[in-house]
Amino acid sequence: MRPKVSICMIARDEESELARCLNSLPALDEIIIVVDSRSQDGTEKLAREYADRVEVRRYQGNIDQKRYCVSLASHDWVLLMDPDEVMTSGLRDQLENTLSNAGSELSGLMLNRLTWHLGRWIRHGDFYPDYVLRVFRKSKAMWVGQNPHPRIEVDGTVHRLSEPMEHYSYRNLADQIERIQAFSREAAQALFESGRRTRWWDLCLRPPARFIRAYVLRRGFLDGVPGFIIAVATAFHVFLKYAKLWEIQRTE
């Protein structure tokens, strides 16, 4: 029999994305949504129509918010989702079958996100493949990494599922730039608090190195003009992160 699973999600101003995500989820056993108290649209109202439990909480960083959300789960197995992600029917079936046949050694499952951006599915560069550990035993998991992109590590066997999970990360290029502004600031603050400081090569060498990795080594050029734009935006994100870290150093 399939073990019981809790679906956990954090959200802020996600009214336009949330219903699509929740309607795509498999019929599991519990849905928990933690809504950022700064949400100004109908996210909380919509969450209460779907979820078994909704908490409104002030955002204090991605790690803290997701850790709190997972702590509310009633079951040991957790499926961690973002509102801009959609499960395909193939992935739902594969997830159900894998969990139904899971042995005691299995502690986590990695899902491969396929991102829609700039009018097409992005299948190369830094965006794909994009395996993330999203299904795991809470009792075997720990949070690692830094804001704004923490990750889960588990004690035990981890399998990869082949069916992709659709990822509608950005509405358009302007939305991507806005998120780069926010994420680079949060990442710079996390680096500063961990003791990191900007060096000249962080500003001069890291951004072009990231562009080369995304556009050439990971074949972002095969995605046409969108692949080039994404590689440039990714390099810009790296530059902003270390530039803002330098700015924090100066002001602190």
36 and 22 in a common domain: yes
Give all strands (DSSP E) within the chain, no chain letters.
Answer: 5-11, 30-36, 53-57, 77-81, 85-87, 106-117, 120-122, 131-137, 141-144, 151-154, 157-167
Q: Are residues 188 and 116 in the same domain?
A: no
Same domain, 111 and 180: no
| Together in a domain, 21 and 126 | yes
Could you tell me the two tokens for 208? 């072009």
Q: Quickly state the pLDDT bin for 229 (edges 50, 70, 90).
A: very high
pLDDT above 90 (res 224): yes
Q: What is the pLDDT of residues 24-48, one digit of tens each?
A: 988 889 999 999 988 999 999 999 9
Instruction: Kindly state the greatest CA–CA separation across the chain.
Output: 58
Determine the structural domain holding residue 127 and report its residue range: 5-167
Whether residues 206 and 82 share a domain: the answer is: no
Could you give the number of structural domains in the chain? Answer: 2
> Is 125 in the same domain as 224?
no
* 156 and 230 assigned to the same domain: no
Residue 142 confidence (pLDDT): 93
Domain closes at, from 135, 167, 199? 167
Q: Is pLDDT of 50 > 80?
A: yes
Residues 6+ apart with CB under 8 A from 245: 188, 191, 192, 196, 197, 198, 202
**Measured between alpha carbons, how far is residue 229 from residues 81, 116, 183 in Å?**
27, 14, 18
Q: Residues 234-239: what's their mean pLDDT?
A: 97
pLDDT 10s digits, 140-158: 999 988 777 788 999 999 9
pLDDT at 185: 93
| Domain end point (choices 167, 183, 203) | 167
Whether residue 83 is found in the same domain as residue 184: no
Q: Are residues 106 and 130 in the same domain?
A: yes
Strands 131-137, 77-81: pairing kind? antiparallel
The pLDDT, as a whole number, for residue 150 is: 80
Which of 211, 213, 209, 206 has the alpha carbon at shortest distance from 242?
206
Chain mean pLDDT for the chain:
93
The CATH number of residue 61's host domain is: 3.90.550.10
Domain C-terminal end among 102, 134, 167? 167
Looking at residue 205, its pLDDT comes to 97
pLDDT for 37: 87
**Percent share of the chain, pLDDT over 70:** 100
pLDDT band per the 50, 70, 90 thresholds, residue 103: confident
Are 117 and 193 members of one domain? no
Asked which of 88-97, 148-157, 194-203, 228-237 is least confident by mean pLDDT, the reply is 148-157
Residue 8 pLDDT class (50, 70, 90 cuts): very high
Instruction: Let me know whether 246 and 196 are in one domain.
Output: yes
In this structure, which amino acid lies at residue 87? M
| Same-domain status, 181 and 159 | no
